Chain A
Amino acid sequence: MDSWYTGVRTQNAQIFGHYIEEPPNNVEYLVIGFSPSSIPLKQRWRNNGLSADFLADYLQTFFIAEDAGDIQISIKNAVGYIANELLENAMKFNDETAHFPTSVVLRLFSDQLIFYVTNSIKPESVEAFQLFIQRLLSEDLEEMYINQLEKNACDDYPNQSGLGFLTMLNDYAAQLGWKFDTVNHDTGLEVTIVTTMVQLNVPTA
């Protein structure tokens, strides 16, 4: 059954971290959208890897400068990792009942790349997620990363480990920002959505 959204209401938007509104479409960009689907998460999981690899491969064609070989490989690897983590998060935390499409936008600038991943989020998950974001923005990241690994090691099934964000910040020197918003469904239903922004600087050759 088709679902329609009447657009984002921004009056209640909450911004965290390093968030830049999506610029007009005057730069190179690539968008991948996933329709709401009844396919079980496990079967969809493989798509994350395929999409992340595709984004990484696609991007590679924009870095064709001579002597840029190592940088090219490094960026490709970083894009593949970050895209995969963002998609995994979107699939895990997506509000299945909202039937809201998940989208990934990758924008290319000469000196940086910016990802925007938008997905619905279960209302009951919002508070814990925002508290985790506050920690990411205020605590010592290296210490938090190691502590998280230690904590996860004692836990057989850590669910919301947040390790993806911690690796992006620590190992890839990415800058992260989030925007929480609500959209109205044509049925009158209100859905909470979150856009995660990841900015990655591109080293010059």
Chain B
Amino acid sequence: MEIKTEDYTVRYDEATATVSCAGSLRLSGMEEYAPILHMLNEAAEQQTDALNLDLRNLEFLNSSGINVLSKFVINVRQRKSPQVNVQGSKKIPWQGKSLKNLQRLLPTLELSLE
């Protein structure tokens, strides 16, 4: 499953239980983000064990996008599964600043910045 535009790509690979986001996500609100949130929630439903969220190539995320990731992790918290592992990059400063907040919403979330 993949959503691809000239600005960003969001891909769900069922075999590796990974949703990867790359590029710049600056959509204008929850309506525009709905297909991406839907893909994340569907991946979480299929992967009952663990789900990887690979953000290592996500250069930019606006506050509406932060809202989408938060909404997703709160949904996982309510369902009590799967284990969510977020992979980020130290080379992309916003990730070090903002991704830790996801852990506050879902304390079991594993965050690794490489």
Contact = CB atoms under 8 A, between A and B. Distances in A.
Interface residues of A, number: 32
Contact of B92 (A48, A49, A77, A152): A77
B24 A167 contact: no
Per DSSP, chain A at the interface is helix
Given A81-B60, A158-B30, A150 B74 contact: yes
Contacts of A128: none
B74 A163 contact: no
A171 B101 CA distance: 9
B26 interface: yes
B67 A161 contact: yes
Given A74-B93, A80-B60, A152 B67 contact: yes
Given A49-B24, A77-B94, A146-B101, A85 B63 contact: yes
Nearest to A150: B74
Interface of A: 41-42, 45, 48-49, 73-74, 77-78, 80-81, 84-85, 88, 145-146, 149-150, 152-153, 156-159, 161, 163-164, 166-167, 170-172
B2 to A, nearest CB: 22
24 contacts: A41-B28, A48-B26, A73-B91, A84-B26, A85-B62, A85-B63, A88-B28, A88-B63, A145-B101, A149-B66, A149-B67, A149-B71, A149-B74, A150-B105, A152-B70, A153-B75, A157-B30, A159-B29, A161-B67, A163-B63, A164-B62, A167-B63, A167-B66, A171-B98
